Amino acid sequence: MDLSPEFSTPDIPVQTINDPLLEGTGVSLSILRTDLIHPVVSGNKWFKLKHNLIKAREQNKTCLLSFGGPWSNHLHALAEAGRLFDFQTIGLVRGELPSPLNPCLADASASGMLLQPVDRSTYRQKTNPEYLASLQELYPDAYLIPEGGANREGALGCAELNLYYDEQQFDLVSMACGTGIMLTGLATSSAIPLMGFQVLKGDAYLERQISNNFQHFGLTSQCRWSINDRFHFGGYAKTTDELITFINRFERIHNIPLEPVYVGKMLCGLYQLIKKRDFFPQNYRILVIHGGGLQGNRGFCKIVQ
């Protein structure tokens, strides 16, 4: 698949998951393969970036500036989006740059991104208005995008996700959540409930964040939504043998690549809920959103097969 110069999104396939583990549960599972949108600008990263790119173009900005860690899916996708749509890009990277660059940052650099290391103390100011104003003064031609595309434009892009599946065919949409922007955006347009799986450790913090998103961005939820915070598997980018075993089995049976930071955790958690047999009603139809981010697999030593 490819992205057009008009910022349009190609068709996205919905794939049915026929899994022996789900037989007799009364639940059917499908997956929206947004990971197939583009080899680099994939998954929800494209939807979070789309309206930011449009707004940057409208403001006649020639550069995109954003924040991320050394394995940031967001910076990885942003660098390539900048190359595709003729923007310069600057990535403010938390901490020191590794030498040599890791594969994620090497890709970003090859796509033309200027990588600027930022010490952790300064990086924590990434949402501080005064710090952002100083960056805007330093880079007047830059359009600033928050870490992870977590702004109103990112939410508006994610609101378009339900254009790529028939809501009447499903009872629930499930997704992995880091910042909660994907769920925030989709909740503004969805006619069916949403369930987010929190990938960071912390009781109920993401529920509060998403509620704040609606208020801060002037958006309104149109559906019921919930956050499950039980399946973080130790915290952000942490793994367990159980999680890795699940991912390996799923990939082997369904030939769908996963990663252990986001979608792998969500699917592993969802399977556990489905197998409870009394958690979801009979004949319940769930759509899972594959959020992409597969490049992040390179940050793990090896997923043992």
- Count Cβ atoms below 10 Å from residue 270 Cβ, excluding itself: 24
Are 260 and 2 within 8 A, CB to CB? no
Q: Is the pLDDT of residue 141 over 80?
A: yes
14-34 per-position pLDDT tens digit: 999 999 999 999 999 999 999
- How confident is residue 8, by pLDDT bands cut at 50, 70 and 90? confident
Q: Which of 264, 273, 253, 271 is CA-nearest to residue 291?
A: 264
- Residue 5: what pLDDT? 65
- Residue 304: what pLDDT? 41
Contacts of 305 (CB under 8 A, 6+ apart): 248, 252
If you average pLDDT over residues 269-289, what whole number do you get? 95
89-133 per-position pLDDT tens digit: 999 999 999 999 999 999 999 999 999 999 999 999 999 999 999
Hey, what CATH topology would domain 14-40+158-299 get?
A: Rossmann fold (3.40.50)
Q: Is the pLDDT of residue 305 over 60?
A: no
Structure tokens at 250: 């799923």
Domain boundaries, the chain: 14-40+158-299, 43-149
Q: Is the pLDDT of residue 4 over 70?
A: no
151-181 per-position pLDDT tens digit: 999 999 999 999 999 999 999 999 999 999 9
Hey, what CATH topology would domain 43-149 get?
A: Rossmann fold (3.40.50)
Give the C-alpha separation, 70 to 92, whole Å: 10
